[in-house]
Structure 1
Amino acid sequence: MEHPIPSGLPDPVKPGDLLMLEITALTPQGDGIAHTVGLGQGRVVFVSQAVPGDQVVAQITEIKRNYLVGRIRSLISPSPQRVRPACIVADKCGGCQWQHVSYAQQLATKQQILRDALERIGGLTLPQPVPILGSRQPLRYRNKVTYPITKPEGQPLRMGYYQRGSHRLVNLNQCPVQDERLDVFLREIKRDLQETGWSVYDESRHQGHLRHLGLRIGRRTREVLLTLVSCSRRLPHLESWAERWMQRYPDLVGVCLNLNSARTNAIFGPETEVIAGRGSLREEFAGFSLWIDSTSFFQVNTEQAEAFFTWIADQLNLRGEETILDAYCGIGTLTLLLAQRAKRAMGVEALPEAVAQARYNAQFNGIASAQFFQGTVEQVLPTLPPADIVVLDPPRRGCDRQVLETLKLRRPPRIVYISCHPATLARDLQILLAEGSYRLTQWRAADFFPQTGHVEGVAFLERV
C-alpha cells in the first residue's frame, strides 16, 4: 500500500497521491476543507464527504491552479460532528449535501457562511449577530417536492433526484427530508405511472412526454396536490387515473397537469390545467389561511418560514401607523403578516398568477390593508407612494441595480433585506450602504433547508 504524504512536505503533488489532512471547514456543496502546509506555500484541498474535525487520508483526484480536490481513502480519526445519514443513498443523491454532518455543525457552518459573505464580499463591519434560527425539525420538513422521471430502455420507470453534478437519476421510494405523508405517493404513483404506459421524456433526444411528478402538502391541513409535468396532453386516460387517485387518497384535493414542452431545465411550464378536484390547497400560516397553487412559490419549510417571518415582524415594533412596501411578495405570505400590524402593506410581484392569488388570500382573510401591484419591482417601485419600511425578498440573483438606486434616491427610513443567497445579499448591501446614508443595525441567519448548504439571511438597515 502507498504511504500517505504528510501535508507539510513540499511539491510536487500529483493525481493519485495520498495526503494526511485535518478537515477544518465545510463548503455548501458538502465538501470538507483542509489546508496543506508548504505545498506551494499551502493550498486548499476540497475533500468530498468530509466533516470538520475529521483526520483523513485523502487521495488527490484533481489538481487545479489554486486548489486540490480529493476523496477520503481512510478515516484516521472521525470528527465528533460526523453522524450516520438518515438516507441510505445520501452519498449519491444530490438532493442533500450535509446528511453526514451533525445538525449543530450545520447551523454553525451556515452562520459562518453568512458572516463570511457579508464581511468578505460586502466589506461590511457587522454588529453582533442574533444566533441562527435553527429548525425544530431537521428531517421531514419539506412541504413540496418535484421528482424528475426517467425510464431507461428495458427497465422500470424511475423517480428521484439527480446525482450531484450529473443527470444520473437516483431512484427513490421514500425521502427523509420530505413530509412523511408524501412517501406513499412517491411509491405508489411511480408504480401507477409505470402501468399507464405513458411515454417518458428523454432530455437528450427531446422526445417523449412525462417529465416530472410534483407533490405539495399543507402541513397543518394535510391537503395534498399532485401535479404531472408533461410535454403535451397526450397521456391516454389521464382523467380516469386522476379520478382513481382522488378516490384512493382521502387527503388528495386536486390533480393537475402542467405543460412544459420547452427544451429547458426549468421544471414548470406556463400552463397548468386542473384534471380532477381543485388547483389549490389550503394552508394555515401565522393565524391566517393561505391558498397555494401547485406551481406557486411558497417556502418549502412552513414552520421555519412562519417562525422567521414572525420574528422579523416582531423586530419592526410596528405601531399600526406604518406604510410598508413588500417587494418580490409572491403570493403575499409576508405582506399579509405585516398588513395585520401596519396601517397599509403594499406587495409588488411580477407574476400575474401570484398577484391574483395574493389578492384572493387577502380577501379570503379579510385583510383590507393589503394591496398588491403586478409588475417588476424596478418598474412599479417609482410609481408607489413613499413607504416607512421597504422589505426586499428577491430571488437568488438579488435585486436589480435600478431597484437599489431608486431606494437610495427615495431613502425610506428602514429597509429589511431577506435573502436566500448570502453572496448577492452582501453585494446589494454594499451598494445600499456605500454613501453612508444607511447603517446596518442587525443581521441574522436562518435554516430553511436542513441537510443542505442553503442558508437564509436577513439584514435590517436604518437611515442615518
Structure 2
Amino acid sequence: APSRVKAPCPYYPECGGCQLQHINYAEQLNHKTRLVKETLSRLGNISPEIVKDTLGMDNPWHYRNKAQFQVVPQDKGMAVGFFASGTHKAVDIDNCLLQQEEINKALKALKKVISSLEIPPYNRKTGKGILRQAVLKTSSSTGEVMIILVTKGKKLPSRKRIVTGLRKNIPNLVSLVQNINNHRVKETMGPEDILLYGRPYIEERIGDLNYIVSPQAFFQVNPIQTHILYDLVLNKARLRGTEIVMDLYCGTGSIGIFTASQAARIYGIESNPSALEDARTNTRLNQINNIKLYEGKVEKILPLLTRKGVKPHVVILDPPRQGCDRQLVHQLLKTKPPKIIYVSCNPSTLARDLAILTKTSYEAVNIQPIDMFPQTSHVECVAYVRKINGD
C-alpha cells in the first residue's frame, strides 16, 4: 500500500507500545478520523458529518513525558522495557522514539545503575524478586526528571548506592521515589510512596500556568497537544466571565485552572485523593481563588451541589477510559447544563455516553479528534454538546 513505510524503530513491531509506525503519519491521522466516525455512528448514532479531521503534530516523535518500563528477569540478568503485544515478555530497550530525550537519557543511566548493583527483578510467576517497574517522568518546560521505582515490599537493597548512582548519572534528577506494590495483579503502583531523594514532584508548565506532577497523579503525557486540547475546551465553552463551570473528574485541576480566568466560579470534583491534593497545590501555585474542590465520586458529589443550588452553565467531563458513570450521565440530564464539553480518550465509551445524552435533551454539535498519541492506535476527542432549547 502507498501509505506503508519502514518503521524507524528497531523494536517495532515486537514491542507492544506502538501499533501504527508502519503507516505514514498523514494516513495515521486519516485512520483515526475514520475510527472516530465509525465508532460514534455505530455505537452512539452520532452523524459522521459532525466529526472533524484529526489534529496532528508537526513532529509526531519524542512527545511523551512519561514512560512505564517493565522490569523482568531473563536468563542473563533482566530486561527493562515494554511488554511485547499480548504477552508478559518484556522487550529490552535502550531508546524509545516516543519518549522525550530526557527520559531516554535517564533510562540508560537507570539500567546501568540497577544492573551494576544486581537489584533482583520481580518474577510475576513465582512472586519473588523486588523491582517490578520503573516509571520515569519529565517536564518539557524545566527538564526535571522523576524516577519511581516500584517494588514488592519496602526492602530495597543498596538503597544509598542507587541514590548516589542515579544522582551522579542524571544531573536533572529532582525526585526519586520508591513505590510499594505488594499485589500480584497488574496495577502499576501501590498506595504507598517513600521519597528516597529530592522532592515528591516535578514542575510542568502549560501556557502561562504552572502545575506540579506527583508520583501518583495523572497528567497528560503529550504537553504540546495538551495545550491545543485545553485551548479547544476554552474555545468550545465560550466563557464571558460570568459562568459557573463544573470540572468533573478534574484530576490535578489542570483544565479547571486553565479555564478559571474566564469563569466566575469553577467546581472541581475528583475521587483520587493524591490528584486532588495536587489540584489544591496547583490552584495556590497559580494564585487562583475562584475554584472550589471536592473529593469523592462525581456521581455522589454532583447531586449534593445541585441540591445546594449550584447551577452550572458549562460542565467539562474528562473521565478515565471507562467513560462516565451511568448514574452521572442521568444526573446531567436532570441538572440540564446548557453546555457539556466532553474530553474522551476512548471513542467507544464516548459514543455510549453521547447516545444517552442525545436521546432526549441534548445534541452533539461537533467532535474534534486530537492525536495525543502518534504512532499508536489511541485517539483523544473533544465533543461539544449543547442543550436543545425548549426542553
TM-score, length-scaled by structure 2 = 0.96
Residue deviations 1:86-145 (CA, integer Å, cap 9, x gap): 201112110101111100010001011111111111112344333321122211001000
Distance 1:158 1:164 in 2: 15
Distance 1:427 1:434 in 2: 11
Letter in 2 for 1:138: P
Instruction: Decide which of 141, 146, 158 is 1:220's aligned counterpart.
Output: 141
Deviation at 1:395, TM superposition (A): 0.7
Secondary structure, aligned partner of 2:85? coil
1:289 is aligned to 2:210: yes
Letter in 2 for 1:267: T
Q: Answer yes or no: is the 8 Å Cα contact 2:222–2:373 preserved in 1.
A: yes
Distance 1:411 1:344 in 2: 18
Residue deviations 1:263-303 (CA, integer Å, cap 9, x gap): 11111111111101111000111211100012210011011
TM-score, length-scaled by structure 1 = 0.81
Residue deviations 1:14-58 (CA, integer Å, cap 9, x gap): xxxxxxxxxxxxxxxxxxxxxxxxxxxxxxxxxxxxxxxxxxxxx
Distance 1:405 1:129 in 2: 24
Deviation at 1:347, TM superposition (A): 1.0
Mean CA deviation greater in 136-145 or 311-320: 311-320
1:345 is aligned to 2:266: yes
1:442 is aligned to 2:366: yes
Residue deviations 1:328-387 (CA, integer Å, cap 9, x gap): 110011010111211111111001111111011001110111221100101111112111
What residue number does 2:311 align with?
A: 386
Q: Mind listing any 5+ residue stretches in structure 2 that lack a counterpart?
A: none
Q: Mind listing any 5+ residue stretches in structure 1 that lack a counterpart?
A: 1-78
Q: Which has the higher contact order (CA 8 A, sep 6+)?
A: 2
Q: Answer yes or no: is the 8 Å Cα contact 2:64–2:221 preserved in 1.
A: yes
Distance 1:82 1:204 in 2: 39
What residue number does 2:122 align with?
A: 201
Distance 1:184 1:86 in 2: 19
Residue 244 to residue 192, structure 1, CA distance change in 2 (3 Å): closer
Letter in 2 for 1:278: R
Distance 1:371 1:286 in 2: 22
Distance 1:285 1:352 in 2: 23
Distance 2:331 2:236 in 1: 25
Residue deviations 1:416-439 (CA, integer Å, cap 9, x gap): 11111101100100001112x111
Q: Answer yes or no: is the 8 Å Cα contact 1:282–1:291 preserved in 2.
A: yes
Secondary structure, aligned partner of 2:262? coil
Q: Where do residues 111-126 of structure 1 align in structure 2 (5 Å cutoff)?
A: 111-126=33-48
What residue number does 1:90 align with?
A: 12
Letter in 2 for 1:331: T
1:99 is aligned to 2:24: no
* Equivalences, count: 384
RMSD: 1.2
Secondary structure, aligned partner of 1:402? helix
Distance 1:348 1:286 in 2: 23
Instruction: Decide which of 361, 364, 385 is 2:285's aligned counterpart.
Output: 364
Instruction: Decide which of 89, 92, 106 is 1:168's aligned counterpart.
Output: 89
Give 1 or 2: higher helix fraction: 2
What residue number does 2:234 align with?
A: 313
Q: Answer yes or no: is the 8 Å Cα contact 1:229–1:268 preserved in 2.
A: yes
Secondary structure, aligned partner of 2:149? strand
Q: Answer yes or no: is the 8 Å Cα contact 2:251–2:270 preserved in 1.
A: yes
Secondary structure, aligned partner of 1:93? coil
What residue number does 1:48 align with?
A: none
Distance 2:156 2:378 in 1: 36
What residue number does 1:355 align with?
A: 276
Letter in 1 for 2:11: V
Give 1 or 2: higher strand fraction: 1
Residue 190 to residue 247, structure 1, CA distance change in 2 (3 Å): closer
What residue number does 1:375 align with?
A: 296
Secondary structure, aligned partner of 1:404? helix
Deviation at 1:195, TM superposition (A): 1.6
Q: Answer yes or no: is the 8 Å Cα contact 2:114–2:162 preserved in 1.
A: no
Letter in 1 for 2:240: R
Q: Answer yes or no: is the 8 Å Cα contact 2:113–2:166 preserved in 1.
A: no
1:326 is aligned to 2:247: yes
Distance 2:190 2:51 in 1: 40
Mean CA deviation greater in 229-238 or 358-367: 229-238
Instruction: Decide which of 32, 47, 50 is 1:128's aligned counterpart.
Output: 50
Q: Answer yes or no: is the 8 Å Cα contact 1:286–1:310 preserved in 2.
A: no
Deviation at 1:181, TM superposition (A): 1.9
What residue number does 2:339 align with?
A: 414
Q: Answer yes or no: is the 8 Å Cα contact 2:201–2:215 preserved in 1.
A: yes
Letter in 1 for 2:379: V
Q: Answer yes or no: is the 8 Å Cα contact 1:124–1:430 preserved in 2.
A: yes
